[in-house]
Structure 1
Amino acid sequence: MRNRLVAGALCGTLAVAGFTGCGIPERSEVRVDGRRQPATESGAVNAWRKEPPPRSMSGTDPEEFVRNFLSAAAGEPDRAYYRVKQFIAQEDDHRLQEKQGSEVELTVVRLVDKPVITPDIDSTRVTIAVQQVGVLRTDGKLAPPVSTDTRYEFGLRSASPAGSVDDGAGFYVIDPPNVLLLSDVALRDYYESQTIYFWNSERTRLVPDLRYLPLTVPNERRLNEVVKWLVGGPSDWLRPGVVGLPDRTELINNATGGNGRWEVNLDMSGDDRTRADQLLTQIAWSLPEFDGQLELKVRNNSVLTEDLGERRSARALYQGLDAPVRYCVYEGSIHPLGIAGESPGAVPLDPGANRNVVSAGFTRADKQVFAALVTASAGRQRLSVGTGPAPVTTFTKGPEHTAIGRPVWLRATDPHQPQGLVVADGRLYRFDQNARMSQIVLNLPPGSVTAVAASLDGRRIALIAGGALYVAALNLDGGTVAVGPPRRVATSLTSLSAVDWGDEERLIVAGAAGRPAIYEISVDGALQTPLKDDTGARVTHLTAFPTNPATKLPSGAFMYEANNVSYRSSPVERIQREQVLDVTPPPTGVRPGSPSAPFFLF
């Protein structure tokens, strides 16, 4: 399911869907869902619009009042200060310095503990310990945090008149912080995550960009908001890997529509027909619930009119994306996994090359298989790369290293010159079909790189470096992989050990939350959900088949290895030796090995 908010860490443990041959997801998730409804006629409003509670709603409960105060800024930004000041005592509202227009920003924080509420003589003192998550701007972007504050303090006083008996009038905030605070729980509850799309630098594939839309925005304005976001350009961290609309593009009046017909009028330079055609594809996928005719005008002149649903059908987001097949490493060789309800695949390698394997990464394009194997010999590891029709017979070996992580292919590269990424001895490397490895220098604080994962669009990566989680955009101009400035992703997990992409805008991350755990985390760090709250041991290997609009089979499945035991999701259960196919049983009295380093081919 696209474009929905995942529940926060306090919402409990859930299971992520796998996939079965019958195509029915085995979901048992706990989700807080900003679920989209069909676009309505002009003049209607969302039946599911949701506003934060007013000041008086909490009555005399100070804990509920603090929660509501941390939700008050949610909603359309032009009234954010007004809503927050309803919670602040009149004598102290000057302490909150008001900003206007695009300067309005909400400081999104994650509470790391319960608020400390301490009664005082004439008031109550409140201390909240927080993790800074980001800054929510008026264009729906959640930018990296600006503040480094780890706690905020303010007071509460009774809203009842002096000398009167408390009549449940509630509280006012005194000595307020000089920022508009918004908890990550409020972001989840009062906004809908909205994925919009920009073209990669070659204009061959769309790349997702995550935004947040208040649930109070009526449906007839949704098109207008999305077009304004597209005109405004991509998020800063994504900018090195994508292109926006031509410079000085502006929206003329508001985008309008209803009854299955929509209109967008732009002042836009360049080739009107080509740009309009590309923009229509962006709009169609950025608003997947919208159907009907969309007319694009440039300076009041009609350039292109097309049905949005037909455009999505004609311009798939991820072409050539096949149903996944599971594999694992067993006794130094790659074998298919036999999971009930799924169709196992053949190993696309010549048996002579399928030896001494530690881990592997496969992908396919244009009837070609791209295989990257990490093999071990004499205490050293090396990357071996082979491409061609299955079974791949010829492999080229790269240089030796002490330790090499799971290799990943970049799906957006030229299928005739495929490239991938791999971590070796604490450094990130690019590799090609000839196993040439070139180190990629990252603009990060000193520290080892321990994991890397690539998104389906092939223009974004997630990595763990120096113990922290990052995302970054890739630029492939000239055929060379260049990594843009990484953005740190806030998470309450510690001791991070593995990462992969769970869908277009969320990551599956292994770390610790008191105990070893696996979380689902949005690419901006705002929203996180525990998928497995106790893996029993540190996760050393993690792989996922990402949810996406192109594959009809349910997805979101992941597999991992901890303490030399492999597991799969939905539900999370151990991968048994009997599920490893094409294996000769060991002689009597010889203990069979264990499946390791599971992965998907898709």
Structure 2
Amino acid sequence: MIHRLIVALGCVLLVASCANIPEQTNAYVIQSSASQPQQKVQLPDRDADPIMVVRRFIEASGDTAVAEAYLTEEAKRLWRPDNQPAIVEDDFSTVPKTQGMESDPDTASVEVKSTTKGRLDSRKSFHVQVGQQSGIVKLVRQDGQWRISETPNNGLIIPISAFNNYYRPVKLYFYDASREVPVPDQRYLPGTPRPSPSDIVSLLLQGPATVLQGAVRSALPSSAVQRTNVTSSSRDGATVVNLGMLGNLTIEDKRAIATQIVLSLQDVPTTTVRLQVEGMPLVPDQPDWKVSDIQPDSDRTTPRAQLTGMMVVGNRVKDLRDGKPITNPAGTGEYRVESAAQSVDGSQLAVVERLNSGQLQLRVGGLNEGLRQIEQRTATEMTRPTWQYPVASNEIGNEVWVVADGTIIRAVRNREGTWLPLPVNQAEIDRYGKITELRLSRDGVRVAVVADGKLLVGAVVRSTGSTDVAISAPKQLLPSITNVVGVDWLDPSRLVVATNTPTGPVWQVPVDGIQAQRYNLANLTLPLSSITAAPSRQIVVTDAVGMWTASDIGQVWLPHPQSQAQGPTARPFYPG
């Protein structure tokens, strides 16, 4: 009788627990990385000495379940592996600390010396933080075996190779200030072979990375929660995301949320994402989503294929493909052009003109018309221009940036068609030195700067309801290289950088700076003078001989078709 009662009660509870799950889902839980059952962990080598125990602990630190086996029970309770783990170079040192004659023979100390690359913060973003660090690891002997009783700050040190083996990059998506264009925000989560979808959604709900605060927006309200872990439908394999506490949202808000989630989960092995709120479809007429359902806005931030690029040669703007001057006063010789930029949509041109007085001024206008002076503003030094993409789909490029005698200027076209110079709050970047290059990312969210030969990346923060703009949280990338001469955006997450370093003239650098990759050295002759890049296009650099192109990291640099005709003074540029 009691057995039947228990069975009946179990059935009632089962029915109640499934009441809010739609019949078509038949979902089961995809556990988060923290809740996944751990495999049996192999214990440390028997009779290993303190130095070997510490080394193996650090080498295993990418997998915290394995590393934990090297700790005493008390150390396990105090250990905080998620508290901003330090990512270090692989060649760390472990040096025994000498103990006094009267010290306990069952205790030992080992000093760990390493070169830090950076740290992961609480939101799993990487922050460059290069430098030498050292810390003491303490050990005790238990039952004849050495175990770690204390780590520096009770934290985690991860060699970069272990980090690459056990952590996976994840691109979360937020929106630019106008909430028009999805913007990638890279994080790093443990996971083999892939991070947990629940962990990805959890990070997305927390909001953008600290360095992007104010520069991007989320369509998800701050009150939003996961009602259940992300699940997978046993019927059709769809990934089921069930949210709660979204509040009252318009259909546009819901579709914007769908875009964020689907793009953020696009590396999860599924073709369909089923989006729900309290067990019901997020968008009533579209319960299931694929990446192909997302209306791409990249057309507004990515140059069209027919825009093949331009170059400045002999104070004229020419077509990069055939070397012919463009049909604009900037191409015919009416202006003495020092540098130039084409808007992302291709319709506008900005040039830096050298006047007879030797001063420089900015001119802006349509590609097929004369270019207007920006309020007669002149300077002795001026960087090449860079364009903000046209925010509204029916607009043309209407904002261009330059640095004039160290001051960042935004030239903005108003509704009457007049171009006005507006300031940028650059207080956070001034301390790095003289700015010689500035490039807006094509989504307008970040800015890459070369200041005194150093490469910096900051966020572009636009104040709601005003014209105030500031560069926020600039970080130095490639800290070991201080002779950067040029930079451009390969895509929203990667930069290409030209330097005058013989051992590495050209680099590809992720926007968080975690691990730069050097391009092939072959055929380039220092000094380099310029570089340009854009999605789905060859990189073009100019060296002491002429222009060279490459499509990937390992490719040998090949002469650009116009290299011989234009020579080493050519300054190529793609729209942006």
TM-score (structure 1 length as normaliser): 0.72
How far apart are the structure 2 equivalents of 1:149 and 1:205? 36
What SS is found at the alignment partner of 1:284? helix
- Of 418, 422, 428, 2:408 maps to 428
User: 1:460 — aligned with what?
Assistant: 446
**Aligned residues of 1:454 and 1:461 also touching (Cα < 8 A):** yes
- Of 520, 524, 535, 2:512 maps to 524
User: 1:84 — aligned with what?
Assistant: 67
Q: For residue 488 of structure 1, report the CA deviation from its aligned partner.
A: 1.0
Correspondences of 1:24-423 after superposition (within 5 Å): 56=44, 69-75=57-63, 80=64, 83-88=66-71, 90=72, 94=75, 97-99=78-80, 104-111=82-89, 114-116=91-93, 127-137=112-122, 139-142=123-126, 150-154=132-136, 176-178=151-153, 179-216=155-192, 221-222=196-197, 224-244=198-218, 245-258=220-233, 259-263=236-240, 264-271=242-249, 273-289=251-267, 292-304=271-283, 305-309=286-290, 311-312=292-293, 314-319=295-300, 321-323=303-305, 324-338=307-321, 347=326, 349-350=328-329, 351-352=331-332, 355-365=335-345, 369-378=347-356, 380-388=358-366, 390-397=367-374, 398-413=376-391, 415-416=395-396, 418-423=398-403
**Aligned residues of 1:445 and 1:466 also touching (Cα < 8 A):** no
Closer/same/farther in 2, CA of residues 370 and 378 from structure 1, 3 Å limit: same
**Aligned residues of 1:201 and 1:241 also touching (Cα < 8 A):** yes
User: 2:533 — aligned with what?
Assistant: 544
Deviations 1:428-452 (A, max 9, x none): 2222355644342322452222322
Letter in 1 for 2:225: E
Q: For residue 143 of structure 1, report the CA deviation from its aligned partner.
A: 5.0
Letter in 2 for 1:491: L
Q: For residue 235 of structure 1, report the CA deviation from its aligned partner.
A: 0.8
Closer/same/farther in 2, CA of residues 149 and 299 from structure 1, 3 Å limit: same
What is the alpha-carbon root mean square deviation over aligned residues? 4.2
**Aligned residues of 1:96 and 1:176 also touching (Cα < 8 A):** no
Letter in 2 for 1:262: T
How far apart are the structure 1 equivalents of 2:447 and 2:39? 35
**Aligned residues of 2:347 and 2:397 also touching (Cα < 8 A):** no
Closer/same/farther in 2, CA of residues 86 and 379 from structure 1, 3 Å limit: farther
Determine whether 1:568 maps to 2:549. yes
Q: Which ranges in structure 2 are unaligned for 5 or more consecutive residues?
A: 1-26, 100-107
What SS is found at the alignment partner of 1:105? coil
Moved more, 493-502 or 559-568: 559-568
Deviations 1:392-435 (A, max 9, x none): 33332552222222211011545356112222323322223556
**Aligned residues of 1:501 and 1:507 also touching (Cα < 8 A):** yes
How far apart are the structure 2 equivalents of 1:444 and 1:43? 46
**Aligned residues of 1:117 and 1:124 also touching (Cα < 8 A):** no
Closer/same/farther in 2, CA of residues 580 and 564 from structure 1, 3 Å limit: closer
Determine whether 1:485 maps to 2:463. no
- Of 481, 497, 502, 1:494 maps to 481
Deviations 1:440-496 (A, max 9, x none): 232245222232222221222122335543322224445736124223144343213
Q: For residue 574 of structure 1, report the CA deviation from its aligned partner.
A: 6.2
Closer/same/farther in 2, CA of residues 116 and 231 from structure 1, 3 Å limit: closer
User: 1:594 — aligned with what?
Assistant: 568
TM-score (structure 2 length as normaliser): 0.75
Letter in 2 for 1:464: V
Moved more, 229-238 or 302-311: 302-311
Closer/same/farther in 2, CA of residues 209 and 124 from structure 1, 3 Å limit: same
Moved more, 394-403 or 249-258: 394-403
**Aligned residues of 1:509 and 1:520 also touching (Cα < 8 A):** yes
**Aligned residues of 1:360 and 1:374 also touching (Cα < 8 A):** yes
- Bigger Cα Rg: 2
Q: For residue 285 of structure 1, report the CA deviation from its aligned partner.
A: 1.7
What SS is found at the alignment partner of 1:501? strand
Closer/same/farther in 2, CA of residues 348 and 286 from structure 1, 3 Å limit: farther
Closer/same/farther in 2, CA of residues 211 and 393 from structure 1, 3 Å limit: same
Q: For residue 240 of structure 1, report the CA deviation from its aligned partner.
A: 0.9
User: 1:14 — aligned with what?
Assistant: none
Letter in 2 for 1:309: K
How far apart are the structure 2 equivalents of 1:396 and 1:58? 77
**Aligned residues of 1:241 and 1:459 also touching (Cα < 8 A):** yes
**Aligned residues of 2:498 and 2:505 also touching (Cα < 8 A):** yes
How many matched pairs? 512
User: 1:474 — aligned with what?
Assistant: 460
Deviations 1:295-336 (A, max 9, x none): 433334433234433654534433474125133222222222
**Aligned residues of 2:389 and 2:442 also touching (Cα < 8 A):** yes
Q: For residue 197 of structure 1, report the CA deviation from its aligned partner.
A: 0.9
Q: For residue 159 of structure 1, report the CA deviation from its aligned partner.
A: 8.9
How far apart are the structure 1 equivalents of 2:327 and 2:458? 31
Moved more, 375-384 or 418-427: 375-384
**Aligned residues of 2:399 and 2:410 also touching (Cα < 8 A):** yes
Moved more, 63-72 or 452-461: 63-72
**Aligned residues of 1:413 and 1:458 also touching (Cα < 8 A):** no
Higher relative contact order (CA 8 A, sep 6+): 1
Deviations 1:115-159 (A, max 9, x none): 34557779895542423512343x4333565xx962214469899
Letter in 2 for 1:330: V
**Aligned residues of 2:429 and 2:474 also touching (Cα < 8 A):** no
How far apart are the structure 1 equivalents of 2:293 and 2:282? 19
What SS is found at the alignment partner of 1:507? strand
**Aligned residues of 2:117 and 2:514 also touching (Cα < 8 A):** no
Q: For residue 292 of structure 1, report the CA deviation from its aligned partner.
A: 4.6
What SS is found at the alignment partner of 1:193? strand
Closer/same/farther in 2, CA of residues 457 and 180 from structure 1, 3 Å limit: same
**Aligned residues of 1:506 and 1:523 also touching (Cα < 8 A):** yes
**Aligned residues of 1:262 and 1:294 also touching (Cα < 8 A):** yes
Q: For residue 344 of structure 1, report the CA deviation from its aligned partner.
A: 8.1
User: 2:434 — aligned with what?
Assistant: 448
Q: For residue 371 of structure 1, report the CA deviation from its aligned partner.
A: 0.8
Closer/same/farther in 2, CA of residues 380 and 435 from structure 1, 3 Å limit: farther
Q: For residue 362 of structure 1, report the CA deviation from its aligned partner.
A: 0.7
How far apart are the structure 1 equivalents of 2:227 and 2:158? 33
How far apart are the structure 1 equivalents of 2:502 and 2:96? 31
